[in-house]
Structures are given as C-alpha cells and as structure tokens.
Structure 1
Amino acid sequence: MNAPIRQTSSLAVVSLVFGILGWTLLPFLGSLVAVVCGHMARAEIRRAQGSLEGDGLAVAGLVMGYLVIGLSVLALAAVFLFFGGLLWFAAVFGH
C-alpha cells in the first residue's frame, strides 16, 4: 500500500521557471536555459526509471522556451526584411 515517494527533478523545475522568465524578464537568455535544462531533465527522468517525476514540467519549459526562440527569430527576420525592403525601395526609386 505504501507507494515509494518520487522526487521531482530539480532540472525540470528550473526549466519551467526559466521558461516563464523567458516570457517576462529574460526574453532570450531565459528561453535558452529553459530549453537546455528541459532536455537535461527529460533525460535524467528517463534514466531514473520511475524514481523521478516532473516530465510535464520539463515539457512545459521546453515548449515555452522554443516558442520564445521561434518568435524571436521570426521578429528578427521581419525587421531585416522590413529595413531591407526600405533600402531597396530607396535605391530603386530614390534617384
């Protein structure tokens, strides 16, 4: 009847916390930490063979981290395309 007490992976908690920080205070750096710690946590949980939990926390940190990184890349591409278009427009029609 007594089930063994499973501990939560500290890397999974770190991944979740930095995933949240990636959306608020540390936009890019927090997301990188969330992704790295999330992958490390999932590997740690798999190796522990049932004695660790927190896979959902790690996945949530991974999702938040990857979303911020993806949105940052899209925003950077949009800025380059916008200013590149302005330069092209000025070069073609500016004279």
Structure 2
Amino acid sequence: MNVPAYRRTSTLAIVSLVAGILGWTLAPWLGSLVAIVTGHMARSEIRRDPQGVEGDGFAVAGLVLGWAMLAVSLLVLLAILLFFGGLAALVALAGAAG
C-alpha cells in the first residue's frame, strides 16, 4: 500500500503572496519589497525539498505582484518627473522669450 507523503505549504510562499497583495493596497513599496524577498526565499526552499514543501504558485504570484508594483510605481515616478521637467522647461523658455 502506497501512502502519499504529506507536503506542507511553505510559510514564506504565503507571506510572499499576502505581502504582494498588501503592496497593491495598504503598503505599496514595503509590501512589494517583502513579497519579492520572501518569494525568492520560498522558491529556494521549495527547490531544496520538492517532496516535502509546496506552494510555488503562491511564491510566484507574490513575486509577480511585487515586481509589477515596483515597475508601475517607477513608471509613474518617471512620468511625473518628465511632466514637471517639461513644465519647467516651458516656463524657462517663456521667461527667456519675454
């Protein structure tokens, strides 16, 4: 009789997913950084013991949410800098012409 082995879900993978969700809601940058760090740690833990630990999907979801939030926030920051930089350039040109 072949009894399937019990596999526990990685706590780090769950933390990564929860932090990734928090990164999009309550704690944007902090949650995203925690999601990225714990996601990588969880995937490493799962690779070391694939028969005993599961939760790779949770870890990947946390990583995707964390990296996506950082990418979006950096793009928004770049857009803001370009907008106000362009505005400052227009004001400077208008001041030099007048």
Fold shared by both chains (TM-score > 0.5): yes
Q: Which runs of 4+ in 1 moved over 2 A?
A: none
Matched, 1:92 2:89: no
Following superposition, the deviation at residue 48 of structure 1 comes to 1.2
Which residue matches 1:48? 49
List runs of 5+ in structure 1 lacking aligned partners.
none
Residue type of the alignment partner of 1:7 = R
CA displacement 1:13-63 (0-9 Å, x = unmatched): 000000000010001110000001000100010011321000000000000
CA distance in 1 between partners of 2:39 and 2:92 (Å): 47
Residue type of the alignment partner of 2:47 = R
Which residue matches 1:29? 30
List runs of 5+ in structure 2 lacking aligned partners.
none
Matched, 1:75 2:76: yes
Residue type of the alignment partner of 2:59 = A
Residue type of the alignment partner of 1:21 = L
What TM-score, normalized by structure 1, do the two folds share? 0.96
Residue type of the alignment partner of 1:71 = V
User: How many percent of aligned residue pairs carry the same amino acid?
Assistant: 59
CA distance in 1 between partners of 2:50 and 2:29 (Å): 32
Following superposition, the deviation at residue 67 of structure 1 comes to 0.5
Higher Rg of the two aligned structures? 2
Following superposition, the deviation at residue 70 of structure 1 comes to 0.2
Residue type of the alignment partner of 2:75 = L
